[in-house]
């Protein structure tokens, strides 16, 4: 094929689908560079400046779109995980089965390192706490009166928020158990267990310091905590 035939073929393809040419950045760069070669060095080519700025904006927009899409996929995955975890909480039909779930599968369903249900039991003597703890298993932690609010606020005089996300240097053995030394972040959800009952605390903790951070959204955790709250009220009412 001669050069004339090749040019005719290229011209025909461009006329058939001009959008393909305009959408090909490498081709457009080559055409702009070829055009710039004939411009004297002492002349400012505004066309090239505008094109370069537009190209930069396009790169920026593509990066933002990719970030948004990635965040959307992460949100969908997180939402699905929380929904599955809620179904797992609702599955046990008896209180012993519920305690077994907390003891063996709870943290795994949430894909975290530590999951604890903290309950205040001020009427129980401290000497009886170890036996009570053994009966309920490691998924449940018994605390004294007002210890839940104290832990959420770290002793500050303030009303505890419904959900608290924070990064910590290490956990508390009484609450986090054997994982205390490795815990680096946690989510705390205060539970209303109904009239006549002390408040509860839903605690999730991770070895990953970025798992729970103050700037993260809490909608899903509020939803999960509300479901858990209703489940606990049901068990307490049945008892």
Inter-CA distances, 75 with 68, 79, 203, Å: 10, 6, 21
239 residues of the chain, pLDDT tens digit each: 676 777 777 777 777 776 776 666 676 666 666 555 555 554 445 556 556 666 677 677 766 666 665 555 455 566 777 778 888 888 888 888 888 888 888 888 888 899 999 998 867 777 777 777 788 888 899 988 899 999 999 888 888 888 999 999 999 998 998 889 999 999 999 999 888 888 999 999 999 999 898 888 888 888 888 998 988 888 887 65
Supply the pLDDT for residue 44: 47
Q: Which domains does the chain have, with CATH numbers?
A: 3-62 (no CATH), 82-238 (3.30.450.40)
Neighbours of 102 (CB within 10 A): 20
Residues with Cβ within 8 Å of residue 25, at least 6 apart in sequence: 55
| 105 vs 185: CA distance, rounded Å | 20
| 112 vs 169: CA distance, rounded Å | 17
Q: Is 122 exposed, middle or buried (0-12, 13-18, 19+ CB in 10 A)?
A: exposed
Inter-CA distances, 224 with 5, 37, 184, 227, Å: 69, 64, 22, 5
- Interstrand relation of 163-167 and 140-143 (parallel, antiparallel or unpaired): unpaired
| 232 vs 239: CA distance, rounded Å | 11
| 186 vs 164: CA distance, rounded Å | 8
Neighbours of 149 (CB within 10 A): 17
| 82 vs 189: CA distance, rounded Å | 15
Is the distance from CB of 237 to CB of 194 less than 8 angstroms?
Answer: yes
Phi, psi of 221, rounded to the nearest 5 degrees: -70, -35
Q: Using the Cα atoms of residue 74, residue 82, residue 110 and residue 196 in order, give the sign of their dihedral.
A: positive
- pTM over 0.75? The answer is no
Residues with Cβ within 8 Å of residue 14, at least 6 apart in sequence: 21
């Amino acid at each position: 094929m001669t050069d004339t035939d090749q040019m005719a073929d290229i011209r025909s393809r461009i006329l058939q689908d001009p959008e393909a040419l305009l959408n090909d950045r490498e081709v457009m760069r080559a055409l702009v560079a070829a055009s710039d070669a004939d411009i004297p060095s002492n002349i400012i080519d505004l066309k090239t400046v505008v094109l370069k700025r537009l190209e930069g904006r396009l790169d920026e927009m593509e990066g933002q779109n990719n970030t948004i899409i990635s965040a959307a996929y992460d949100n969908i995955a997180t939402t699905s995980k929380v929904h599955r975890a809620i179904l797992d909480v609702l599955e046990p039909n008896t209180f012993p089965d519920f305690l077994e779930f907390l003891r063996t599968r709870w943290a795994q369903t949430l894909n975290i390192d530590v999951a604890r249900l903290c309950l205040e039991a001020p009427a129980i003597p401290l000497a009886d706490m170890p036996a009570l703890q053994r009966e309920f298993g490691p998924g449940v932690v018994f605390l004294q009166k007002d210890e839940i609010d104290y832990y959420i606020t770290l002793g500050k005089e303030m009303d505890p928020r419904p959900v608290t996300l924070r990064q910590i240097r290490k956990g508390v053995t009484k609450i986090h158990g054997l994982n205390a030394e490795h815990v680096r972040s946690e989510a705390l959800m205060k539970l209303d267990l109904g009239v006549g009952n002390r408040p509860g605390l839903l605690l999730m903790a991770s070895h990953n310091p970025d798992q729970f951070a103050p700037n993260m959204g809490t909608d899903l955790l509020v939803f999960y905590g509300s479901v858990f709250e209703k489940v606990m009220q049901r068990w307490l009412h049945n008892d």
